[in-house]
Amino acid sequence: MGIPKDLAFRLFGYSFGSWFWVSNDQSVDAAKLIHWSAESGSHPFVLVAEYDGGPVATVRPRSTSNKTGILHAAHPAAHVSTCKIEREGWILPMLWSLGPEAICADNYSCQEPYEEIAEKLKKGTAR
Amino acid sequence: MSLSEIREEYRSVRIGPKILSEVRNSVHQVCRRYDPQIYGRAASWDDAEEDLVQAVVLDLLLQEGQLDYLMARSVQLEDFQNLLRFQVKRYLARQRQRSVVDNLLDRSKELLQTGAFQSSGKGQAARYSLAGAAIEGREPTEEEVAAAARSVALVPRIRFAERERAPTVYTRENLETLLQAVGISLPAGFSLHDLARILELVLTDWVVGFLYDFEGAQVEPSAGLNPEETTMVEAAAREIVEQCTPEHLLVLRRKLENLPDQAIADELGVSRPTVIARKKEAYERMRGALEDLPEHVQAAVVDRLAAHLATFSGGGRL
Amino acid sequence: MSGEHAPSWLQAALGRTFVLPVGFAEEGESPLKAIRGEIRVARPMDEEKVSARLIVILEAYTDGDPWVNACLINNALEAAGDKDVRLDAEDTNLSFPTLVETDVVGPLFMIQLGPRIGQLAAPLLDELRAAVYGTWGPNVVNRRGTPIMGKHDARWRLKEQEIGEMHALAYACMDHLIKADVKETAADLVLDPAFIRPDAVEPPLATMLRVVSVAEDEGLNLDIPTEGSHNMSRLRNWAASLMPDEVRALESLWQGCLKSDEPKGVFREDQLNWRLGWPSPGANSLAQHLAAHASRGGRAFRVATSRKNWPEGTQGGVIGLDVEGIGTVQVKPELLDVAA
């Protein structure tokens, strides 16, 4: 990585409440070749703390079928062009650590637009 | 030997012949990889190995409770042995770090006698501060020490190898910058003990590399720059500082110290979007100055800038 | 050195202080019920992958399949970065200082946890939990290391390694929880075969109705272990003794019996080990049944069982079943008896 890109990472990172669609093989440690889902595909994750460009980002996953956690409406249609949160779902209570390869522009979806949801995430509300 | 036997001994006498034997084996396996003069302060490990065994047992396993940590985590004998070897390395790293810090303190004492600093008291009670500063008669707070460590972390270091007898770590110029950064961060003045604490907080990545056998991937920016490149570094760093406002520089400094945007906004008394805007502006100025330079020169520019930022408290030229 | 005295320097040191020995990773209460703030050792669900690690429990969930959100703990204080909080022995009731890695987090099945070896007071735990979410309170903000400066910093590599270890510990639970409530992989409520063993008293109707009701309310599939023709004929005979409306009310129970077309795993008795035992009769056939599920990927089960076999305070706790070649299965006794 060139120095300016390294700096950009350090300077900008991503804010709390940013959503990313992370493929299953990026969600777990590549070196250990452990996949918590054998299936291909991806899951949405939201940053629950600011990501500062360092080695770890703390996130929570979202599901459209698992009804535990914070009920989360689909994002408004005119939200941002990259938004992929198009169906109602639940922000699950599990915490997870992602590496920087998962938190990238290619995976970026959008910023959480609902204030009430952001408040719940900030407090670490489970449901 | 089995883990059951180790556990039984631990429960009955805490440390007995079996655990002691494991410690001796681990010490022997680990220490022989390292120079005894650097890590054992002895001509050969034959002279120093038993001292090391005693130190690991008394200081780490018993006094610091690490034996309990090992017993809690071990599920197989191999776990216990791996963790024990790690403890031996921790002890060696700690010794090494102490001697590196002691060398830096010796060099610092000399620099602290220059006109840039003032002192009061003698010996262990000596306190130092920037020349002309009014010394508050108190110990620095934990918060101030942490802030000082974050500033000092910006000052470029010279990577050193485990085999190096007397590593430099900081050039004279950068050691002066470091001491100024400490002086700015600690308005109450500082003792050599405070300085040692800060250096120990800062010299962590070397220790980690040693403990976990990571090969360093550090770029050594200034080493090996030719005179032309050195001139380019100075020019680029100056260009960045001149193009950036004090607000830009403070934002850059705080981001390099890894403070979140909101904390910077609170410090500056502006909104978070304003901080984000300043970051973008500062980044553009840096990118403009760096993008045509070779990567090793870019790294040297960033290091030069970081050293400047370590003592930046608003305003000032490079 | 057997029969010899310890060297004098060691004798002197051992004589100076007394410290209670810690519990070992495989020990612990049964049923296991962990709560937030506890420090325990966590082991992987699978038989290899990663060594046991110390964790601190941020949150504990006992509805459904019990699990915890946890932070990893390291003992190398010298490795601290700015997301790592140093805790002294007096903060934790441990005999050693620790580093809580607030950025290395993950869910763990409760059964992965060993005995409680330390405990944080609630205010400190609250600040640590807030730190996970990026808010640094006064009691933790100055206990951190310096920021990790970039990929050249060895602590970056260490963090990558630590995330890898946490993933290895947590992925089974994460997989299970992510898939929960998906229709095709909906959780089962397993009926303790003790209810339908040939030597058992007839299954109490009220209890069976309660089992059915709980399964329907929580969207669970009822799973009836029908290994052995004795169990099936016992159920058949019992069903024949019921009134028609009672039979209808127990529809999902009969549906659960019809899953007998699924392939059964065959494990030798010595390949299955209840950690600290399953106290109700039929433990072996239950173990076989759950091991068969585990061989198809299941790792956590809830078993409707009778409270008469369990001590007070069982509800919400878990029991472990180790299956050779697979790893650990978490079993939660659900005490659903209804008094006659």
pLDDT given for residue C41 in this prediction: 97
What are the pLDDT digits (tens) for B146-189? 889 999 999 988 887 777 888 889 999 999 999 999 999 998 89
- Tell me the average confidence (pLDDT) per consecutive run of 10 residues in chain C, 340 residues long: 70 85 90 96 85 96 94 95 96 97 98 96 97 94 89 90 94 87 66 77 77 86 74 76 84 75 72 90 90 90 89 88 93 79
Which residues, including other chains, have CB under 8 Å from residue C219's CB and lie 6 or more apart?
C181, C186
Q: CA-CA distance, B207 to C79, in Å (whole number)?
A: 7
Q: How many CA atoms lie within 13 A of A106 on its CB side?
A: 7
Helices (H) then strands (E): counts for chain B: 15, 2
- Dihedral sign of CA atoms A44, A46, A51, A57 in order: negative
The tokens of C16 are what? 């100076």
Which residues, including other chains, have CB under 8 Å from residue A46's CB and lie 6 or more apart?
A17, A18, A19, A20, A59, A60, A62, A91, A112, A121
What are the pLDDT digits (tens) for B291-303? 888 888 888 888 8
Residue B35's identity, in one-letter code, is: D
Structure confidence at residue B218 as a pLDDT band (50, 70, 90): very low
The tokens of C137 are what? 């309170």
pLDDT given for residue C282 in this prediction: 83
pLDDT given for residue C315 in this prediction: 85
Residues in chain C with CB shorter than 8 Å from the CB of A61 are 174, 178
Interface of B with C in 71-130 (CB under 8 A): 71-75, 79, 82, 86, 90, 93-94, 97
CB atoms A122 and C182 under 8 Å: no
CB atoms B153 and C149 under 8 Å: yes
H or E element that contains B238? helix B227-243
Q: CA-CA distance, B203 to B157, in Å (whole number)?
A: 9
pLDDT given for residue B315 in this prediction: 43
* Three-class secondary structure of residue B34 per DSSP: coil
Whether A25 and chain B come into contact, CB under 8 Å, resolves to: no
To which residue do tokens 């006064």 refer?
C138
The tokens of C119 are what? 């405990």
H or E element that contains C251? helix C251-257
pLDDT given for residue B261 in this prediction: 85
Q: CA-CA distance, C127 to B126, in Å (whole number)?
A: 37
Q: CA-CA distance, C28 to B12, in Å (whole number)?
A: 19
pLDDT given for residue A9 in this prediction: 65
Residues in chain C with CB shorter than 8 Å from the CB of B14 are 14, 19, 21
Whether C27 and chain A come into contact, CB under 8 Å, resolves to: no
Find residue C329's DSSP bridge partners: C321
In terms of CA atoms, which chain B residue is nearest residue C93?
B65
**Rounded to the nearest 10 degrees, what angle do helices B17-31 and B77-111 cross at?**
50
How far, CA to CA in Å, does C149 sit from each of B255, C107, C157?
Answer: 11, 28, 12
C289 contacts C296 by C-beta, under 8 angstroms: no
Residues in chain B with CB shorter than 8 Å from the CB of A122 are none
Residues in chain B with CB shorter than 8 Å from the CB of A9 are none
Q: CA-CA distance, C286 to C195, in Å (whole number)?
A: 11
* Three-class secondary structure of residue C126 per DSSP: helix
In terms of CA atoms, which chain B residue is nearest residue A4?
B287
CA angle B101-B105-B110, nearest 5°? Answer: 155
Closest CA to A27 of A84, A94, A111: A94
- Smallest Cβ–Cβ distance between C79 and the set B211, B218, B257 belongs to B211
- CATH code for residues C3-173: 2.30.30.110
CB atoms C25 and B75 under 8 Å: yes
Which residues, including other chains, have CB under 8 Å from residue B178's CB and lie 6 or more apart?
B152, B155, B170, B310
Q: How many CA atoms lie within 13 A of B156 on its CB side?
A: 20
pLDDT given for residue C208 in this prediction: 85
Q: CA-CA distance, B130 to A82, in Å (whole number)?
A: 52
Report pTM: 0.91
DSSP annotation of C138 = T
Q: CB count, 10 Å around CB of C318? A: 27
Q: How many CA atoms lie within 13 A of C279 on its CB side?
A: 14
Whether A55 and chain B come into contact, CB under 8 Å, resolves to: no
CB atoms C179 and A66 under 8 Å: yes
Residues in chain C with CB shorter than 8 Å from the CB of A34 are 49, 167-168, 171
Closest CA to C189 of C315, C305, C68, C310: C305
Mean pLDDT, all residues of chain B:
89
A34 contacts C167 by C-beta, under 8 angstroms: yes
Name the more confident of B315 and B112.
B112
Residue B48's identity, in one-letter code, is: A
pLDDT given for residue C3 in this prediction: 41
- Give the minimum alpha-carbon distance from B15 to chain A in angstroms, rounded to a whole number: 36
Which residues, including other chains, have CB under 8 Å from residue B160's CB and lie 6 or more apart?
B100, B167, B168, B169, B206
Structure confidence at residue B244 as a pLDDT band (50, 70, 90): very high
CB atoms B54 and C9 under 8 Å: yes
Residue B251's identity, in one-letter code, is: V
Q: Where are the domains of chain A?
A: 5-123
Give 3-state DSSP helix, strand, coil % of chain A, rounded to 5.
20, 25, 55
Q: CA-CA distance, A47 to A57, in Å (whole number)?
A: 7
Q: CA-CA distance, C159 to C165, in Å (whole number)?
A: 10
Interface of C with B in 182-201 (CB under 8 A): none
Whether C147 and chain A come into contact, CB under 8 Å, resolves to: yes
Residues in chain B with CB shorter than 8 Å from the CB of A50 are 260-261
What are the pLDDT digits (tens) for A11-60? 777 889 999 999 877 777 644 444 445 556 788 999 999 998 889 999 99
**For C31, phi and psi rounded to 5 degrees?**
-65, 150
pLDDT given for residue C207 in this prediction: 83
pLDDT given for residue A24 in this prediction: 78
Taking phi first (over 0 means left), then psi (-120 to 50 degrees means alpha), and beta for anything else, what does residue C43 get?
A: beta
For the sheet containing C319-323, what is the strand order?
C221-223, C188-191, C300-305, C327-335, C319-323, C272-275
In terms of CA atoms, which chain B residue is nearest residue C53?
B73
Q: CA-CA distance, B99 to B92, in Å (whole number)?
A: 11
CB atoms B260 and A50 under 8 Å: yes
Taking phi first (over 0 means left), then psi (-120 to 50 degrees means alpha), and beta for anything else, what does residue B114 get?
A: beta
Closest CA to A107 of A9, A30, A1, A19: A19
Q: Which of A54-68, B111-125, B222-236, C29-43 has the lowest mean pLDDT?
A: B222-236
Q: Where are the domains of chain C?
A: 3-173, 185-336
Find residue C106's DSSP bridge partners: C70
- Give the minimum alpha-carbon distance from A40 to chain B in angstroms, rounded to a whole number: 32
Pairing of the two strands C300-305 and C188-191: parallel
> Rg for chain B (alpha carbons), in Å?
24
Return the CATH class of domain A5-123: mainly beta
What are the pLDDT digits (tens) for B23-81? 999 999 999 999 999 898 899 999 999 999 999 999 999 999 999 999 999 999 999 99
